[in-house]
């Protein structure tokens, strides 16, 4: 099949994928049925926000195209919510990347500006992160589990930079669960945080993972450079350590 990408884009993607030293095995969780309106469970009971999924079919097509273009360097296991066995995605479609703890996810269709970090995360997993040594050391120092939620939209020009940083942070330190949430597809949690513009980042304790709209320890409204984001992550970890001690 073809058609998602023009020949130039496909050629550029092939070059990126050919430089991967090993195969990557992602997971894509989609609904067994396609379109319709999204159904949200009672937030008080902290149920996963599954149900009808308007972009699940497109997510499957994207996964199939990436598998084809990558020549086997990226594979997707496509699962339904009924058989995701312990991965606990909070929304679908859920792209769950090939890290040892499966701690980095994208919820929604990674289109528009969000396509670049969707590709780059695979390069970082395969060939290493591109952060400075000092930023890496700061992120490595965090010993408290954190849950980072990044609210984005496909048109947002600064969102990919923020997603790119936190994805790399999740590779450096697997105590950090990183979720990028497409806010137009999944507006309820964004609304609960009063998100007026994107990027918008909340950092919560990981034990609140199931709680939609859990109280943040830190909030980053808008773009900040990697050095400042790293400091805020460290600050959040220190705050939680004090609370827990």
Q: Is residue 154 within 8 Å of residue 113, measured between CB atoms?
A: yes
In a domain, 40, yes or no: yes
d(CA 79, CA 85): 10
Tell me the pLDDT of the chain (245 aa) as tens digits: 457 899 999 999 999 999 999 999 999 999 876 443 343 444 433 345 666 799 999 999 999 999 999 999 999 999 987 776 688 999 999 999 999 999 999 999 999 999 999 999 999 999 999 999 999 999 999 999 999 999 999 999 999 999 999 999 999 999 999 999 999 999 999 999 999 999 999 999 999 999 999 999 999 999 999 999 999 999 999 999 998 87
Please report where in the chains the tokens 């092939």 appear, as a residue: 14
d(CA 25, CA 76): 6
Q: Is the pTM of this model over 0.95?
A: no
- Count of the separate structural domains present in the chain: 1
In a domain, 135, yes or no: yes
In a domain, 13, yes or no: yes
Cα three-residue angle 229-230-236, rounded to 5 degrees:
90
In a domain, 86, yes or no: yes
In a domain, 1, yes or no: no
In a domain, 2, yes or no: no
In a domain, 184, yes or no: yes
User: Does residue 93 have a cis bond before it (omega within 30 degrees)?
Assistant: yes
Q: Which domain holds residue 172?
A: 7-244
d(CA 49, CA 185): 11
**Residues near 133 by beta carbon (within 8 Å), at least 6 away in sequence:** none
Q: Are strands 94-96 and 24-29 parallel, antiparallel or unpaired?
A: antiparallel
**Helix or strand or coil: residue 233?**
helix
Residue by residue, DSSP assigns 140-163 as HT--S-EEEEEEE-TT-SSHHHHH
CATH number at residue 123: 3.40.30.80
In a domain, 63, yes or no: yes
């Amino acid at each position: 099949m073809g058609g998602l990408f023009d020949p130039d884009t496909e050629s550029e993607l092939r070059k990126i994928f050919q430089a991967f030293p090993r195969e990557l095995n992602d997971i894509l969780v989609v609904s067994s049925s396609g379109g319709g309106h999204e159904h949200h469970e009672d937030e008080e009971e902290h149920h996963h926000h599954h149900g009808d999924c308007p972009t699940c079919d497109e997510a499957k097509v994207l996964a199939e195209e990436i598998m084809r273009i990558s020549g086997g360097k990226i594979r997707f296991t496509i699962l339904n919510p009924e058989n995701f066995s312990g991965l606990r995605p909070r929304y679908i479609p859920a792209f769950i990347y090939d890290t040892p703890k499966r701690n980095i996810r994208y919820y929604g269709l990674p289109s528009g500006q969000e396509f670049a970090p969707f590709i780059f995360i695979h390069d970082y997993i395969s060939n290493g992160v591109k952060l400075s040594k000092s930023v890496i050391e700061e992120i490595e120092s965090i010993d408290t589990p954190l849950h980072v939620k990044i609210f984005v939209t496909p048109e947002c020009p600064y969102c990919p930079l923020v997603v790119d940083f936190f994805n790399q942070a999740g590779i450096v330190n697997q105590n950090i669960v990183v979720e990028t949430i497409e806010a137009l597809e999944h507006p309820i949690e964004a609304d609960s945080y009063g998100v007026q513009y994107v990027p918008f980042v909340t950092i919560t304790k990981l034990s609140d993972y199931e709680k939609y709209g859990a109280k943040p320890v830190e909030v980053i409204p808008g773009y900040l450079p990697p050095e400042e984001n790293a400091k805020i992550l460290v600050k959040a970890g220190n705050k939680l350590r004090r609370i827990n001690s």
